[in-house]
Structure 1
Amino acid sequence: MKTELIGAAGIGRAAEIIARGGLVAVPTETVYGLAANGLDAAAVERIYAVKGRPEVKPLSLMVHGPEAMERCWRETPAQARSLAAEFWPGPLTIIGESAESIPSIVRAGGSTVGLRCPDHPLTLELLQKCALPLAAPSANPSGAPSPKTAAQVLEYFDGKIDAVIDGGECGIGTESTIISLAGAPFKILRPGALDTEEISARLAADMYIVGLTGGSGTGKTTALEVLRDMGALCIDADELYHELTRTSAEMKAELIGRFGPVYDGDTLDRKALGGLVFSDAAALGELNAITHKYVSREIKRLLRDFAMSGGALAAIDAVGIFEGGADALCAAVFGVLAPEGLRCERIMAREGISREYALKRIRAQRPDEYYKDVCTAVLVNDGTREEFAAECKAAFTEAIRNGRKERLSRRALL
C-alpha cells in the first residue's frame, strides 16, 4: 500500500477514501488522529489493528458540530449543548449514552460514546464533506508518543494507512480533555488540553442561582429551606466566612499581615479585630476587601463542584450580597422583609437577648427601602411559616421558569 500525502486541495480525495472504508490520518489542534468511518465496523477494526490497540478500549468520534449529538447519542443533556457551544471546535471530548447506530466495536461493547469537534480547518472540511462521524484516536502505535506532524505519522504508518492530510504542526500537542456526562456526577476521565476548571465553571454558570438577602430576623432561613427542598445547593456566606477564619491559612496570613496579631492560635479574635476596624472606615473597607475575596473564591468553588455533581439550582444567602459582588452570579436576588415587631420577637427567641438590644440591632441595619430598590423582588414574611414558605416556593418557581435574562460567562465562576 502506498500512503498518499494530501494537502488542502485534496480534502475531497480524503473523503472518498473514508467513504470506501480507508484510513486517513488527520490534523487537529492537539495531535494527529487516525480517522475512519465511525459507522463502518470493518473500517474501525482496521484502526485497532494498525495501532495495535486493544479492542477493549473504546474510540471517540470526531464530528462537525453539536448537531451530531442527536445522531450519535440516545439523548442529549443540556450540559452537553452548553459545553459544545462554549468549547467546540476545541480540545474537549464529551461522552454520552450511545445511539444504537454506533457500532459495538467503537464503544468496545459499552453503552457510551465520546464526541469531539476538532479545531482544524482541514479536518472540519473533511467532516463536512464526509457527513459522517469519524472514529479517530491519536495516530500513533499504542504506547508511542502522539504525533504533532504529518512526517511523524508517516514514520509510524507509511505503507500501512491510505493517506495523511498534511495540516502542518499541531499547536497544542496535548490530547483533548474527556468528560463523561453519562450520568451524574459528571467525571473528568482524562485531563488534557482544556483545563477542568474551565469546564466546571461553564456548567456552574448555566445553573440558576438565586440570591437571598435581608436583615436579622426576617426569615431568610425559611426561604433557604424552600430552595433546599427544591434541590438547591444552599450557601450561607456568613457561615462560610466563619469557617474560612478557621480553615484558610491564606486568609489568616493576610489578616495578620494587615491587622497584626488578631488570631489566638487558630481562632480569630473578633473582639480585637473589631476594635481595629469599627471606628476606622478605611480599615473596615480593607477588612471587607480581604474577606470578600476569600468568601467569593469559596462560593465559586462550591458552585463548580455542585455543577459537576449534576446540580442545576443554587442559592447564596448573604447580608452583603451586593457589597461582596455575589449578586453578579445570581439570576435574581430576593430581599426578605418582615415587620419590625416580628423580627424583634424572632431574634429574642433565637438568641435570648432583650427587646431593647434586639431593636438596637435591627435599627442599625439597612431599611426596607434599600432592599426594595436594589433587589429583583422582595418577599414579605408577615404571616405563618407555612404561608411564607408557600409564597417563597411560588416566587422561586416563577423566577426559574422565566430563566436568566443573559447567559452568564464562565469567567464569572473562575
Structure 2
Amino acid sequence: MILHELIDYGTLRLIWWGLLGILLIGFAATDGFDMGVGLLLPFVAKTDVERRVAINTIGPVWEGNQVWFILGGGAIFAAWPPLYAVSFSGFYLAMFVVLAALILRPVAFKYRSKRIEARWRSSWDWALFVGGFVPALIFGVAVGNVLQGVPFRLDDTLRAFYEGSFFGLLNPFALLCGLMSVAMLAMHGAVWLTLKAGGVVGERARNFGTVAAVATIALFALGGLALANWVDGYALAAPMAADGPSNPLLKDVVHGDGAWFVNYANNPWMLIAPVLGFAGAAVTLIGLRARIRGLSIIASGLSIFGVISTVGLSMFPFILPSSIDPRSSLTVWDASSSHLTLFIMLVVTVIFLPLILAYTAWAYRIMWGKVEEEAIRDEAGHYY
C-alpha cells in the first residue's frame, strides 16, 4: 500500500477542514486580543504612561501571535487552492486594506516611543487603533459575505471570475457581522487588559469589556435571527462522494431560507457551538463584574471558539458558496488539493504544530505578569 493511502481522501479532506478552523480560531484567540487592545487603546488609557501600560501588555507576544494568521493563509493556499484563488482575488481590495492596517501596527510598536513629543506618540496610538479596529471589522464583513454567498463563477476550465465590487461587500448583514467581530475582539482585548494591566487601565477595561460582552451576545443573536429569516443558505441537491474529484462543477446546489440551519436539525450535537458562543460571552460578563480574571479569559476564548465554529458547522460542507452560480460553490469535498498533498501537509503539521504550541506556551510563561505604571516610569528604556 502507498503510504498516503493509509488515510482515505475523504478523511483527509475532513481533517484539513477541521485544521483550518483550528488555525482561524487560534488566530482570533491570540492575535484577537492584540487587536482588541489596539482598538480599545484610546478609551482605556488617557495619559502617555497609561497607554504604555496597555501597549506593553501585548508588546512581548504580538509578533508571535501573528504566526496563526500566516499559518491560516498558508493552509488555505496549500490545502484549498480554489478557495485561496477566489477569496484572495475577489476580496483583493478588502485584503489590501487589512494588510495596510496590519502593517501600521508593527511600525507603531517600533516607532511610538522613539520620540517624546505628545503629538508624535498620539499619532502612533491612533495607528494602533486603526491596526486593531480595521482588521476586526473587515474579517467580520468577509464572514458575513461568505454566509450570503460570494459573486463568483467558474467556467468550464475551472477559471474563476469574480463579479462583485468592494462596496458591494459593505451590505447590511455583512456590516452586522463586522460589528459582531469588533465587539467580540473588544471583549477579548478588555479581558486581557484586566488580566495584565495594573491600575486604572485594567479598571477601565473591565467597564468597556462589560459593554462589549453584552454587545457580543446581542449581535450574535441578531445575526442568527437574520440568517433564519432574511439570508438564504445553501444546500447540496444530492449527497456527494467524499473522495470525489476536485471539480466543483460536478454537483447541483439549491439555496433558500433556513438552509444554514439544516445541519443542526440533522446533527443536534452541533448546537454546542452556538451555545458556547452565547455562554462564553455571558460567563465573560459575569467574570468581569465579579473580577474573576482567569474565568473571564477562558470564557472569552470559548466564546470565540463557539462563534467561529458556528459559522463553519452551519456551512458544512460548503467553504465558499457562490451567489451568482450556486453550482460553482466550493465545498470540502470538491475544492481540495490532491490526496498526496494533503497527506504530506498533515505529516508536516503533526511534526511542527506541537513545536509551535510548545514555544508559544513557553513564551507566555516567561513573559507573564502584570504591567504596572511604576515599572513603566522607573525603567522607561525597557518598555515600548
TM-score, normalization by structure 1: 0.23
Q: Which structure's relative contact order is higher, taking Cα pairs within 8 Å and 6+ residues apart?
A: 2
Looking at secondary structure, tell me which structure has more strand per residue: 1
TM-score, normalization by structure 2: 0.24
Looking at secondary structure, tell me which structure has more helix per residue: 2
